[in-house]
Structure 1
Amino acid sequence: MRTSLIRRACVVALMMVTTMAPAAAARPAGDTKTPGIGGHARLLGERIIPHKLAFRGTTVGGLSGIDRNPCTGEYVMISDDRSVLQPARFYTARIAVDGTGVRSVDFTGTHPLRQPDGSVHPPASARDGKAVDPEELRVDPRSCRYWWSQEGDRPASAADPLIQQSVRIAGPTGAYRGRFRLPADYQYTREDRGPRRNKGVEAITFGSRGATFTSALEGPLIQDGPEPDLRHGALVRVTRQDRAGAVLRQFAYPLEKIFAASDPSSPWAPDTGVPAILAFPDDPDRYLVLERTWVAGAGYRIRVFDATTRGATDVRRMSSLAGRAVVPMRKKLVADFHDLKLSTVVNTEGLTWGPRLPSGERTLLLVSDDNFAEDEATQFVALAFRDR
């Protein structure tokens, strides 16, 4: 989700901070007795890195996805720079996370994401239809290759190129290694169907120890109904596929309604969606889902939900969800950043598992996309997750 034109009222003045906080109980959402879900999280700490940190000839920022590489023990983060500042790229880093929070973030490498011919991706201004909008990256647990999603672009006018969204596969230095086939209903069209502009596939995750691949659209398909407002949420499609691309099942995830009224003087509409989804390692039907919302005058709201597909309707053969009797995925609130006493709540878009703590809790590591804007921040947040 790109918000580079948005200006927030709060300016981040502290460029390097580690915060300790007591446990914060998440407020339950929906049925707190839903079988199969019910984890909760507490804040361990946070760290904000210097804005526009220079690293090996690149500008660190726009970090919209994070995952841990089991082959190296390092974390991998994708930047959503559309080859404007530097070519589309990813970063590797050693991140120390323990019961005291995020102790350090040390970048170790960066590589551009390559096209099949070995060249880097051109900027969107090239208007040749080959630009990409990187949003999420996951490490294949079987090969340790990088699978990354890019939203492409639904053209704003007939003169603009239509760039399909995709999931591509890269080697450890960014070399092109293939492409994964997404569901047919994820395709942009020049008609009033398919994903909305800038609301395509961001969230991806491996499940069942790499046997399955799940993706979530950021917002509802045009034909599935309107986007969330102050009164109503919306249904977002979540698709589980096998490694060959065959669709196993597709579900409707209930996206929350907008949490506050927008400043009437702002030209910007509220912006909400699902930027990350994370599979549980031992339950093929269970996911953590990150919801991120921005409202002019109210700022960001970041929430993590524990969700299950168990009992949900398989919607893969439904061309439209509007007016249909659909049982959506069930969910329960795990963490609301407004409850966690963070130094600031910003544009958090990346989510992954971290190490297990001596307490038995599993850590969650989240990262924010600063949009390369002076009034935003690249923030790492560590949570301790206890399962029920």
Structure 2
Amino acid sequence: MAQPVAHAWTPQYLGQWQVPRATPFHNTVIGGLSGISYDPGRNVYYTVSDDKAEHGGVRFYSVRLGVSEGGIDAGQFLQMQELLDESGKPFSRSSMAADSPVLMPDAEGIAFDGVRNRLYWSSEGFAAEGSDDRPARLLQPSIRIAGLDGAYQGEFALPPGFAFSPDKATGPRPNGVLEGLSLTPDGRYLFAAMEHPLYQDGTAADEHNTGLVRITKFDVETRNAVAQFAYQVDRAAPGTGENGVADILALSESSLVVIERAASLPAAIAVRLYHADFGPATDVLGMPSLTGQPIAPMVKSLAVDLNTVGGLEPLDNIEGITLGPVLPDGRQSVVLVSDDNFQPFEVTQFLAFAL
């Protein structure tokens, strides 16, 4: 499938700040940062951890960063806030026990809503078959609403096809679900991106194949999906495993920045940022399967290949992106964050760019 060309979106690298490995903070360990969103009114970044009870509860952090034309200063973690369940309690750490049928949410995306002063966060869920000594465990994907105090305020209705299926003929691939989340600047729409294709939509992107992932547009007021589009993920670079969407950034109702990331750590990683327009893309919300369908995917063009950026070393497992403050010279800043997976050979890093 030929890929159309969109107009250029070219960021300039400013610098990075690395968090010392295994930094303790408020009875947690900082790490697993898989999404980020900027609150301009408070001048803080909210970054969610995908930790599943090994180093703390389901949580997000408030971080202050000094981003300028000259780079990014050492940041400061200000607060840790656990995300709460429907009953107003933290998700139980005992739910990770081997004999439990329940799982902790796998938090991946986060988006701050300055209009309504609340957060949206996505969980990939989890599906595991049972065995003689372990029951089957299932937690469906979700997009939840939370106050800044972590309190549950509701959730979005996911489209058909986003639930795990026992036969793996349809539905999402485990650990390839709601990876990217971003709110439009006017606060009207929330975009959510799958990391990998649904089973019925074809193969995941690897060294030999591209893949079609679904990006869904939700109306924030109704909490329902109003449109959905196919985004074509590039083939993976040799030795990096599968390529997928790590996060998205909504520039407008019709334009996104998409992070494509393939990693086989510690050996290899490839991270690229693309500018993507919906343009003539087909609305696939009502399509059970994309396989064999004559659809038009989103229009995309390469913005920057992070592996080729001078001075950007090391480059780790980038999983989050957000607009930051406008710089004194008038350029817009962009901040990215990496997920260190709590591994000794990885790093938590905040990268700063300017447009």
TM-score of the aligned structures, taking structure 2 as reference length: 0.92
Per-residue CA distance 1:1-48 (angstroms, 9 max, x = gap):
xxxxxxxxxxxxxxxxxxxxxxxxxxxx9655x3xx311111100111
Q: Does 1:135 align with 2:120?
A: no
Pick from 210, 219, 241 the counterpart of residue 187 of structure 2. 210
* Counterparts of 1:294 and 1:39, CA distance in 2: 24
Point out where structure 2 has 5 or more consecutive residues left out of the alignment: none
Q: Does 1:146 align with 2:96?
A: no
Q: Is the 8 A contact 1:154 1:196 kept in 2?
A: no
Per-residue CA distance 1:292-344 (angstroms, 9 max, x = gap):
11136751111111001110011111111111111100111111111113121
* Counterparts of 2:50 and 2:300, CA distance in 1: 28
* Counterparts of 1:220 and 1:311, CA distance in 2: 21
Pick from 228, 238, 244 the counterpart of residue 250 of structure 1. 228
Q: Is the 8 A contact 1:135 1:202 kept in 2?
A: yes
3-state SS of the aligned residue for 2:197?
coil
Q: Does 1:234 align with 2:211?
A: yes
* Counterparts of 1:208 and 1:382, CA distance in 2: 20
Structure 2 CA distance for partners of 1:222 and 1:157, relative to 1, 3 Å: farther
Q: Is the 8 A contact 1:121 1:130 kept in 2?
A: no
- Partner residue in 2 for 1:8: none
- Partner residue in 2 for 1:89: 59
- Partner residue in 2 for 1:266: none
* Counterparts of 2:301 and 2:332, CA distance in 1: 18
Identity of aligned residues (%): 34
Q: Does 1:313 align with 2:282?
A: yes
Per-residue CA distance 1:248-299 (angstroms, 9 max, x = gap):
211100111011146xxxxxxx13311211111xx31000011111136751
Aligned AA for 1:252?
A
* Counterparts of 1:90 and 1:334, CA distance in 2: 29
- Partner residue in 1 for 2:171: 194
Aligned AA for 2:253?
P
Count of residue pairs the alignment pairs up: 345
Per-residue CA distance 1:85-109 (angstroms, 9 max, x = gap):
2111111011110111111211110
* Counterparts of 1:255 and 1:369, CA distance in 2: 21
- Partner residue in 1 for 2:202: 225
Q: Is the 8 A contact 1:141 1:209 kept in 2?
A: no
3-state SS of the aligned residue for 2:79?
strand
Shift of 1:84: 2.0
Pick from 330, 335, 341 the counterpart of residue 299 of structure 2. 330
Aligned AA for 2:146?
A
3-state SS of the aligned residue for 1:154?
strand
Pick from 219, 236, 259 the counterpart of residue 237 of structure 2. 259
Pick from 141, 154, 157 the counterpart of residue 178 of structure 1. 154
Pick from 275, 284, 289 the counterpart of residue 258 of structure 2. 289
* Counterparts of 2:123 and 2:13, CA distance in 1: 30
Q: Does 1:273 align with 2:251?
A: no
Point out where structure 1 has 5 or more consecutive residues left out of the alignment: 1-28, 263-269
Per-residue CA distance 1:154-177 (angstroms, 9 max, x = gap):
224474222101011111121222
- Partner residue in 1 for 2:75: 105
TM-score of the aligned structures, taking structure 1 as reference length: 0.85
CA RMSD in angstroms, aligned pairs only: 1.8
Structure 2 CA distance for partners of 1:58 and 1:226, relative to 1, 3 Å: same
Aligned AA for 2:303?
V
